[in-house]
Copies of this chain bind each other. A is one copy, B any other.
Amino acid sequence: METETRSRKALCLEDLRRKILTEELAPGSYIDEIEAAEIYGVSRPPLREVLRLLAGEGYIVLHENRGAQVAPMTHKTLRNFFMAAPMIYSAVTRLAAEHATPAQIVKLKECQWSFRQAIRNGDAAERALENERFHSIIGEMADNEFLTPSLRRLLIDHTRIGMTFYSPRKPQLAAEREIAADQHDQFIDLIEAGDADAAAALAVAHWELSRAQIESFVTPEGMQIPLGRAPGADRRGVS
């Protein structure tokens, strides 16, 4: 019970992050403190500390006297995400190419190996988590405490959006996943070479691929919404 005690809380933190990223905990849903505390075998005070940490990272939103809510995805989320993502991703990737240490590059390569494994054998959640981890490591490489907060926030919803719009019935997605994985290899090469400009450009290209995937789900085929409008902003009212 000595080494286990500390890791119970750490495990709780990790697992809640995972459940939120994979939407096992749905956006907007509420977390019951007593129930969660029992699940992870801790009492309520340490669980509440975990929830505060998650709140700071943007995973959940705290409401005074009304509990902890898994960060909701509103109609503005996609629009805001599309605004911020290319800027932050390219800036972070540029800095990663400039500052990455050999140890970090090794770590990134190992992660890419796991990502390829997940593409072959894993389910959607495993793929999404490995992808999140890959880009988190690039964030570590950038080593800029002022950009990391936004990157982390972006990765949360990027992962969740990927889970939301995932559909096993579209075979073309498999091909696009291969392209994404190849781009990950290019990330590694360019970061290892220290080519900041090319790395930043690749980040934009990688983002465009993801963006196109998302838009193909948000905007119904044959009924494209004009560019510049927030994708899917009015869907609820239409159906």
The interface of chain A, by Cβ under 8 A from chain B, is: 6, 45, 48-49, 52-58, 64, 76-77, 80-81, 83-85, 87-88, 91, 95, 143-150, 152-154, 157
Are B80 and A145 closer than 8 Å at their CB atoms? Answer: yes
Q: Which residue of B lies closest to A79 (CB)?
A: B144
Q: Which residues of B contact A150 (CB under 8 A)?
A: 88, 146-150
- Bound form: Cα–Cα A122–B24 in Å: 51
- Bound form: Cα–Cα A77–B145 in Å: 8
Are B85 and A146 closer than 8 Å at their CB atoms? Answer: yes
Are A55 and B58 closer than 8 Å at their CB atoms? Answer: no
Selected contact of A53 from candidates B52, B87, B146, B149, CB within 8 Å = B52
Selected contact of A58 from candidates B48, B81, B149, B157, CB within 8 Å = B149
- Bound form: Cα–Cα A64–B77 in Å: 34
Since A45-B45, A52-B56 are in contact, a sample of 11 more A-B pairs with Cβ atoms closer than 8 Å, ordered by chain A residue number, is A49-B49, A53-B56, A58-B145, A58-B149, A77-B145, A80-B144, A80-B147, A83-B147, A85-B146, A148-B150, A149-B153
- Bound form: Cα–Cα A113–B36 in Å: 47
- Bound form: Cα–Cα A149–B57 in Å: 9
- Bound form: Cα–Cα A222–B21 in Å: 53
Residue in A54, A83, A95, A150 whose Cβ sees the most chain B Cβ within 10 Å: A150
Q: Which residues of B contact A88 (CB under 8 A)?
A: 146-147, 150
Q: Which residues of B contact A146 (CB under 8 A)?
A: 80-81, 83-85, 88, 150, 153-154, 157
Residue in A76, A145, A152 whose Cβ sees the most chain B Cβ within 10 Å: A145
- Bound form: Cα–Cα A205–B95 in Å: 24
Q: Which residue of B lies closest to A83 (CB)?
A: B144
CB<8 Å pairs between A and B, sample of 21: A49-B49, A49-B52, A52-B52, A52-B56, A53-B55, A53-B56, A54-B56, A56-B56, A56-B57, A76-B143, A77-B145, A80-B145, A80-B147, A83-B95, A83-B144, A83-B146, A87-B87, A88-B150, A145-B153, A146-B154, A146-B157
